[in-house]
Structure formats: C-alpha cells, structure tokens
Amino acid sequence: MEDGLTLRQSVAMRLQGKFDGEVSWKFGHASFETDRSKVFCFITREGHLALKLPQPRIAELIEAGMAKPLCMGQRSMREWAVVPDPESATTLKLLRAAQLYVESLPVTPAKPRAARKLAAKKFSAKKSSASRIAR
C-alpha cells in the first residue's frame, strides 16, 4: 500500500494515468468501463489485471504464458484472462484491445427472466417491509 491506498486503488490510479479511461468500482473491484457502462477490465485482489477479449485471443495469451484463465468459483470464464503485470507496455496494448472488443459487442436487451426475477424480489421486499410496519 502506498499513501494509505489499497493495492487495487494504487494500481488503478497508476493505470488511469497511463490509460485514457475512467476507473469505477464494481463488485468490489476497480474497473474500467466503456461509454455504455460495460466493464472491459478490472483489477484483482492481487493487483493483476483481468481483461475481456475474444475467446481465441484469450487462448493465445494463455498458450504463450502471458496470462492465466480467470476463474470465478469453479467456473473458468471463456472471454476473460488475468495478466500478472498490469502496467507493462504489452498489457496496456491488451487493455486498449479489450476496450475496443467490448465496445464492438452488440447491445443486448435485458433478459425477460432476469427482469421478472428482479420485479419479484422488489415485490417481496415491499411486502416484508409492509408487514413489519403493520406490526
């Protein structure tokens, strides 16, 4: 830690100075987002950089030993890789490639099931708070 910042904050501040982009915080990670608020990279607890790139490019990076697969629990994410040196010149090029890749992805509408699930959750929260008030 430097100047009272966490490792993630420190890496994010240095990266922001080298890369034209704004850092935001999503799911406890310092993240870089596109203009459409889509995350294309984030900083891991260890201070490494997780990048979203096309699956074939991820496979190339892993094969070359430049990256490791990103695992969330038991699941290995197909379009995400972890690069150990977030500030190298090569990584900064990958960061830009990740941004361009995510910006090129089509905008997908919200899934109806997810919307129903969210609405049910909100209804449940309102119902339980109303029952507490009635008591």
Q: Say which CATH number the domain at 34 has.
A: 3.90.1150.30
Domain of residue 60, residue span: 7-110
Residue type, 99: Q
Q: Which of 8-17, 26-35, 66-75 has the highest mean pLDDT?
A: 66-75
What percent of the chain stands above pLDDT 70?
Answer: 76
Q: Is 55 a domain residue?
A: yes
Number of domain units in the chain: 1
pLDDT in tens, 95-127: 999 999 999 998 877 656 666 666 666 666 655
Q: Is 135 a domain residue?
A: no
Q: Is 52 a domain residue?
A: yes
For residue 54, give every residue at least 6 positions away whose Cβ sits within 8 Å of its Cβ, in sequence order, or none.
Answer: 79, 101
